[in-house]
Structure 1
């Protein structure tokens, strides 16, 4: 096979298109969160805690796609700012469950509205059926890649 035959056509490469979509979404989310004094990781942390109160540092880090160390630094800042609370002592083991404060819930409500507007704009040219199909196809892609390593659970279960 020649070098030209083995090259990826970036205009049709699913991996490249996903990366481009991800980068564009990231930039758009960043542009609406920055004026609120938030990063995408900050927002992700609050959203995760809203939907699953009591998550540990490790669970939050996995859910926000950052290292445990980065999440710990963020959590310390969020505690200091009164956005989240963490138990003084672990309930069991070494886990310090984290929860949103009323201030954190207010901050999340504003950020969620801004992020939803970005997502709505992103989906605006898709029909309802196309949106459902795209979500199912993306989930299948994630699960297929996770299935290549039997020790790795699908992303939505991590």
Structure 2
């Protein structure tokens, strides 16, 4: 029995390659965001709010892949620093919709440019339609696991 028959071949394991890519992307994003005083979760939260203003704490937590408690702590810090605003009283129910402030939008613009540069570096070896094909394949992988 060969070693390949006994376990996963790491050179061809899609899961292992995705984990390597994820780790490399995380490290590269951290390297460009840290000098801006941001974590990846901080950036993700601002980006989500720019695209979907009014998200709740729970929705932001799901979108940024963190717990509601972690997002609550982050939102308090972002609000204290003037990057987001939330009403003092929920307009309906208990949900406090969150929105970016002008300062939050300014900080996001700088961070987004840095993250786009990382993504360009990551996909520099892809040509033609390969970036779009890769995105489509990843969406299919996600759908397969969520089915």
TM-score by length of 2: 0.97
Using the TM superposition, give the Cα deviation of residue 92 of structure 1 relative to its aligned residue in structure 2, in angstroms: 1.3
Using the TM superposition, give the Cα deviation of residue 4 of structure 1 relative to its aligned residue in structure 2, in angstroms: 5.1
Gaps of 5+ in 2: none
Distance across 1 between alignment mates of 2:6 and 2:86:
52
* Mapping for residues 36-75 of structure 1, pairs under 5 Å: 36-75=36-75
Structure 1 2/11 Cα, relative in aligned 2: closer, same or farther at 3 Å?
closer
Distance across 1 between alignment mates of 2:142 and 2:13:
16
Gaps of 5+ in 1: 148-158
Distance across 2 between alignment mates of 1:78 and 1:129:
38
Farther-moved stretch of structure 1 (49-58 vs 3-12) = 3-12
Aligned residues: 147
Using the TM superposition, give the Cα deviation of residue 101 of structure 1 relative to its aligned residue in structure 2, in angstroms: 0.4
In the TM superposition, what whole-angstrom CA distance separates every residue of 1:81-103 from its partner, at most 9, and x where no partner exists?
A: 00000111111111000000000
Distance across 2 between alignment mates of 1:6 and 1:52:
47
Alignment of 1:100 with 2:100, yes or no, is yes
Task: Name the SS of the counterpart of 1:143 in structure 2.
Answer: helix
TM-score by length of 1: 0.90
In the TM superposition, what whole-angstrom CA distance separates every residue of 1:38-96 from its partner, at most 9, and x where no partner exists?
A: 00000000000000000000000000000000000000000000000011111111100
Partner of 2:78: 78
Distance across 2 between alignment mates of 1:13 and 1:71:
33
Partner of 2:145: 145
Using the TM superposition, give the Cα deviation of residue 128 of structure 1 relative to its aligned residue in structure 2, in angstroms: 2.9
